[in-house]
Amino acid sequence: MFKEYDKAWAKYEESLSLLPLPIISWEFYQIPRAEQKEFNEIQKYWSQKVDFAKVKKDNNLSVIVTDSDFKIVFASSNVIQMNGYHHKELIGNSPKMFQGNETSLETTKKISKAISKREPFQAIILNYKKNGATYFCNIEAYPKFNSEGVFLNYIAFEKTA
């Protein structure tokens, strides 16, 4: 009886067209957790924290954080949809990397003035994607300070305008 069952089961398994899949599907869970952990590490000294999970609920919103030298230290993984750059490619670069010949000098001066005064700003600017195509980017940025009032970072919330 078991021999017949084993043969029938073997025949059944052969008739299936199943393909084994690698366990890459866990990435949907791991990336947000790793991203959240990385973001929390950056903001641990900020006097006012940001709820990254709440911000990420808006999938059209990208988050970019610069250090006090205005080099990118964090970029959310969804930034690739906006400008074509993988978030890891941005680390260590200046946000000026998105600007080009057609970017408004008036807008960049407005942003530079706010940054030099360590003030929040909002602007719509013509930026360039990795492939050279242009897009309008709506940026809302805030300086971040520690509890002693020392400037640490700028955080920018960006989306295609």
pLDDT digits (tens, 9 = 90+) for 32-71: 778 889 999 999 999 999 888 788 776 578 999 999 999 9
Domain span including residue 115: 16-160
Cα dihedral 69, 71, 75, 81, rounded to 10, equals 140
Domain assignment present for residue 100? The answer is yes
Domain assignment present for residue 42? The answer is yes
The pLDDT of 71-99, averaged and rounded, is 95
Which CATH number covers residue 117? 3.30.450.20
Domain assignment present for residue 96? The answer is yes
Number of domains in the chain: 1
Angle at 73 between CA 23 and CA 94, to 5 degrees: 120
Q: What is the mean pLDDT of the chain?
A: 88
Domain assignment present for residue 131? The answer is yes
Domain assignment present for residue 152? The answer is yes
The answer to whether 140 and 157 have CB atoms below 8 angstroms apart is yes
The pLDDT of 115-139, averaged and rounded, is 97
Domain assignment present for residue 122? The answer is yes
Domain assignment present for residue 3? The answer is no
pTM: 0.77
The answer to whether 87 and 79 have CB atoms below 8 angstroms apart is yes
- Res. 149 pLDDT band, cuts 50 70 90: very high
At 132 the pLDDT is: 97
Domain assignment present for residue 2? The answer is no
| % of the chain surpassing 70 pLDDT | 88
